Each structure stands twice: as C-alpha cells, then as structure tokens.
Structure 1
Amino acid sequence: MTTPILFYGVPSGCSFGSIVALEWLGQPYQLSRIEMPELVTSDEYRRINNVGETPTLRTESGEFLSESMSILNHIAARGIDRKLGFAQGTPEFDRLNQMLAFLNTAFFNSYVPLWHALEHGSDGVEKQVLTDFARAKVEKVHADLSAMLGDKPWLLGAHRTLADAYFIGIARWNEYHQVVDRRDYPNLQRLYDKLEADPAVIFAHAIEYQRVAVSAGGFAGEVAFDKVLVELVV
C-alpha cells in the first residue's frame, strides 16, 4: 500500500474540491502540482490520464482514478465515519450522488463557456455570445442550488459532505469571472462564506498560490510530477 497522491490542476482547477475533501478525511495523502494547459496536455501526464485532465488520484493500491465524481466517491467511502459520505444503498448515498451530479453537470458546466472564451482568446461578437449564454446558465444554477440549500447549514443537511467540498471548488470561479453577485443568493453566500473560513479551504488556497500551507488533515507533502513519473507503472 502506498500513500495516495492527488494530481491537481492549476490555475483554478476543479481538483480544489478534492484537496478540501482529503483534508477533511484526515488520512495521509500527498499532492502533485499539474500546470494547465502545459503539463496537463503532455504525453507524460497522459500516461496516467489519457484525456489530459485533472484531477487524478493514485490510490493506496496504486490504481489511477480520474474524474472528480469518482475521486470524491472514493474519498467518501473512506470517510463514512466522519459523515463525509454514506454507505451505498442508503437514501443518504443517493442524495449525495444526486447533489454531486447536479454540481458536475449543471453548476460546473455553466462556467464552461466563460473558460472557453478565456482560454481560446475569444473576442467581439463571439465573446459576447458566450458570455451572455454563460450568464443565463450561471444565474439559473445559482437560483436552483439556492433553493435546494434553503436554510440548511450544508448542502445535504446538518453535516458537511464531499458535496460541499466540490461546491466551493467551483463556486470560487465566480470571483474570477464576476458573472453574478452571490449576495443575490443569500443562502449560497452564507454557505460560501462558511466554507471560505474552513481551515481545509484556506489550506487549498494556499497550496494553489504556493503560500505557506498549514494542514489540519493528513497532508504528507508535495511531490514534483517528474519525480513521481519514474515510479509509475501504467
């Protein structure tokens, strides 16, 4: 068995949520920084993720697991005692997967046109069309998610789960794109503020910006990808 390694993308990768989740789990893990788009699209990185995306997790058994939903469910199964996830077949498990699916397919995707416009240098009419399309989608998902949250302290109720970790990794994109004013959605603003004050979220921000990062979980250090690469057997 080996210490799990999360290969996380910068800048502003959705892998942020997986870092928060690993911190909440409290078990040993390492991180490996993957610059986007340079390293993530390289032949070297495609040895562990053939679609060239982050995050990827090397599990304790040495297997490689990609896609945020898969990684978060893997972490959730190890964090049932902390109520980060739930046993398969329970109503709570179903609700968690329903929320993760919404965050992945609706919340995440509402920002995709904005990332496309930025990464591909869109300008003029094309940029305006993409921005208008994204704004409508972002406004709708904020309204929908705010209604789902209601006055609950966390997305699924009384306890934080990995859905909250995934939420904060995506919600912070609005600080970058400035599409909506989150104060128009007070339920989400309340959750966002609470998560931003969480030690695991503060830690994940520090990791991304390469500041001094104080772990409250099981962080066992950061390793360069080129050093990890020579150990990989895929």
Structure 2
Amino acid sequence: MSAAKTAPTAAVPILFYGVPSGCSFGSLVALEWAGQPYRLARVEMPEQIHTTAFKSLNPVGETPVLVSAQGDVVTESMAILNHIGARAIERGIAFAQGTPQFDELNRMLAFLNTTFFGSFSSLWHVLEHEVDEASREALVEYGRGRVVQAHAKLEAMLGDKRWLLGDRPTLADAYFAGIARWTKYHSVVDRRDYPNLQRLFDQLEADPAVIFAHAIEQQRPAVSASGFQGEVALEEAIADYRLAA
C-alpha cells in the first residue's frame, strides 16, 4: 500500500516515529516484518517532541511511541519491539517469554540499546548543541573510543552468523538497522573495518522492510509488503488518542 495521509481508524496501532534518522526506524521495520495492520504518525525532531501535545503521549519527549490497538501507550524502543514481537512470534522475529531464545534476543536488544546506542551519545550532543572547541574535541574523542569499542564487540558477537541471532532476522536486526546508519553523521568509524557488521548492514539495506522504512522517513513513494494502512497527521493522531482515552 502506498504512503498516504488518511484519517485514523480505531483498533489499529499507530507508531509515532521520529525524523530525521530516529531510532524508531527499528520499530517501523519490525512492524513491517510482523505483517499486522498499523499506521504511522510522523514526528519532526526536535521541534515536535517538546510540544505539550506530544508530551501528553510521552512526558519524556522522545520517540518512538506506540499507541496499541487497545489504546495503551507504549514507549521506549525495547518495550515497543517486545510488544510487536509478542504478537508475531509465528513470524520468527521474536520468541515466547521463558525460552532460551527469548533471553538471547533480550540480551542482544539490551546490548544494542545500551552499549551500541549509548556509544553515540556524546557525538549527538556535539552535533545538536553549541559547545566550546575544547569541549567539542574532548567529547568527540570520548565518543570515538566508545563507538569503536561498541563496533568491535558487536563484530565479535556476530561472527560468521548471517543475522545477529542466527539464520533468520529478528527484532535485534531491525533495531540494529536504525542505529548502525548513524555512522554517516559522525566520522569516527569506518564500518568497512568490521566486515561482519558491514555484511549485515548491506543485507538489511536490501531488505524490503528497510527500503520501505527509508522511503517513509524521506517522504518518497513507499510501498508496503505488509500491514501498513497509511500515515496520520501528528495532531490528528494525538487527538484521536485523547478521544479514545
């Protein structure tokens, strides 16, 4: 289905995704892989995340945010990804809680959410805030060390496996797809120095769900192979949530 602005419909989850290049990209990919109906609401960062309207959804003022089919608000990528995965276990992107596979997936998601994601934090601060030259150099050098270390650790964890957890993609790969692209904003690491990660990244970039997510972010024609039911304007989506609450 092609991307289009349409009115919200009850009982269809809405993902509020952040642009440019938000970590919500992983949740968007996961929704495509899950194959269930969903809609999207675009959130321009940082302007719209600080509004009173958006903070009525998430007081922290961050994306992603998922409003479930039941009207419940789910925030934080790990929680959203596990919410999606629990409803798509038969798709192989997640596993039943209490199994060793679930524990391994959560371990990988936790690493990506803390060590891998977190390694970019000082670099984003430099990019998004005015700092003096001495502070900038110190923060960039600190960030460079963290990003290099995080890449080296994940390179070893991936090894020669096709995907992060084995022979098929999971929620962890979806989340990696959104974060790994941040190297284009920060010239502190060359992914080609990590051939396993470069192989995984290239493989994901060729995946239809990832191609779709890029097109959505860039507002290009986007064709879903799954359950996408159109975009909802941010104000309309928030108003719809308030009416349903």
TM-score by length of 2: 0.94
Q: Which residue of 2 aligns with 1:46?
A: 55
The residue matched to 1:107 in structure 2 has which SS?
helix
Residues 193-228 of structure 1 deviation map (CA, whole Å, 9 limit, x = unaligned)? 000111111111111111111111111000001112
Task: Confirm or deny that 1:169 pairs with 2:170.
Answer: no
Corresponding residue for residue 185 of structure 1 = 194
Counterparts of 1:71-82 in structure 2, within 5 Å, are 71-82=80-91
Superposition deviation, residue 122 in structure 1: 2.5
For the pair 1:159 / 2:168, whether they are aligned, the reply is yes
Q: Please list every run of 5 or more consecutive structure 2 residues that lacks an aligned counterpart in the other structure.
A: 1-9
Q: What is the TM-score normalised by the length of structure 1?
A: 0.98
What is the alpha-carbon distance in structure 2 between the residues aligned to residue 113 and residue 201 of structure 1?
27
Q: Deviations over 1:79-109 (max 9, x none)?
A: 1101110000000000000000000000000
- RMSD over aligned CA atoms reads 0.9
Q: 1:132 aligns with which of 141, 148, 151?
A: 141
* Structure 1, unaligned runs of 5 or more: none
Corresponding pairs, count: 234
Q: Which residue of 2 aligns with 1:229?
A: 238
* Comparing 43-52 and 113-122, the one that deviates more: 113-122
Asked whether 1:142 is paired with 2:151, we answer: yes
Per-residue CA deviations over 1:93-142 (Å, capped at 9, x if unaligned) read: 00000000000000000001111111112341111111100100000010
Inter-partner Cα distance in structure 1 for 2:238 and 2:167: 41
Amino acid at match of 1:119: E
Which stretch of the first structure deviates more once superposed, 223-232 or 103-112? 223-232
Deviation by residue 1:3-24 (Cα, 9 ceiling, x = unmatched): 0000000111100000000011
The percentage of counterpart residues that share the same residue type is: 63
Structure of higher RCO (CA pairs closer than 8 Å, 6+ residues apart): 2
Corresponding position of 2:7: none
2:160 and 2:154 map into 1 onto residues whose CA distance is 12
Q: Which amino acid aligns with 2:227?
A: G
2:139 aligned partner, one-letter code? L
| CA distances 1:153-206 after superposition (whole Å, capped 9, x unpaired) | 000011110000000100000022122111110000000000011111111111
Which residue of 2 is the match for residue 18 of structure 1? 27
User: Where does 1:103-122 land on structure 2 (aligned, <5 Å)?
Assistant: 103-122=112-131
- Give 1:150's aligned amino acid: G
Partner of 1:132, secondary structure, is helix
Kindly report structure 1 stretches of 4+ aligned residues shifted beyond 4 Å. none
